[in-house]
Amino acid sequence: MDQIKIKNLEVFGHHGLLPEENTLGQKFLINATLYIQAGIAGQSDKMSDSIHYGDVCQFITKFMHDHTFKLIETVAEQLSRQLLLTYPRMKKIRLEVLKPWAPIGLPLESVSVEVVRGWKCAYLSLGSNMGDRQKYLDNAIAALKENPFVKVNKVAGYINTPPYGKTDQSDFLNTAVEIETLLNPEQLLELIHDIEKKNKRVRKEHWGERTLDIDILLFEDTINRSLQLTIPHADMHNRHFVLEPMCEIAPQVMHPIFHLTMYQLLERLNKLS
């Protein structure tokens, strides 16, 4: 991606472990690389198609002055997140916070913390087979849209499907959703569990009836195997009710383990059925 670079922006802040640092304050230096798609602005020559680096510098200066943190790790984390939330055209940021002459009792020029943060693409599968199924799916999508750390980009049409695994229950209404998020996979899992709980999800029986079921299918190219979370979803390639909605919104997205697109996975599953 294209980059706008801000180097050695001098700001004043009250960040540090020592009480004197919080009271008296000190100088900090900020380096920031803003990742954007600059092609549109390059063609139009309009500021509205880019990010005003002067505004970004003012935002950083005010943030550093108005907040007080003990750790520059926290400064970097909170500042990078707020910049990404404030400037929608910014897809990723590399942010370095330098603390000159840090008070450690030894001669040094500076210490710094650098972080890289950005919007990550993920895909979710949603299903319901109890009560007002459409309402539960609508509620879940609305809750995702309301979260400031999530952007809902695409929603597949709702499809009616027979139950999977445990077949002596009502049909499901299913869909798939493409999102961008500032949350990591574990934080996203916590969010969707909270959404399920607010929609009366009860976990009594594996593959049993539920008001709302949300699964993380893919998270960028992440491959994760833990007790809490498996990415990519371990059984997505065997499920028509997952692959059909995914082919509607992301047919060319690649499975990071099988190295097949969603379309190819569905074609393969259809041949096996």
Mean pLDDT of 59-82: 97
Taking the C-alpha atoms of residue 225 and residue 253, their distance in angstroms, rounded to an integer, is 21
Query: Mind telling me the catalytic residues?
Result: 99
- What is the mean pLDDT of the segment spanning 202-208? 64
- Coarse DSSP helix, strand, coil percentages of the chain, rounded to the nearest 5 percent: 35, 30, 35
pLDDT band at 167 (very low <50, low <70, confident <90, very high): confident
pLDDT over 70 at 10, yes or no: yes
Q: Which of 64-73, 162-171, 258-267 has the lowest mean pLDDT?
A: 162-171
pLDDT at 216: 98
**pLDDT reading at 106 higher than 80:** yes
Range 71-92 burial, b when 16+ CB lie within 10 A, else e: ebeebbbebbbebbeebeebbb
Sign of the CA dihedral with 116 first, then 227, 239, and 245 last: negative
**Confidence at residue 206, expressed as pLDDT on a 0 to 100 scale:** 59
Judged by average pLDDT, the poorest of 93-107, 154-168, 211-225 is: 154-168
Q: 203 falls in which pLDDT band (50, 70, 90)?
A: low
Taking the C-alpha atoms of residue 149 and residue 245, their distance in angstroms, rounded to an integer, is: 24
pLDDT in tens, 178-195: 999 999 999 999 999 999
Quickly count: other Cβ atoms within 10 Å of residue 249's Cβ.
Answer: 18
| 109-151: pLDDT as tens digits | 999 999 999 999 999 999 999 999 999 999 999 999 999 999 9
List the domains of the chain with CATH numbers: 2-118 (3.30.1130.10), 120-272 (3.30.70.560)
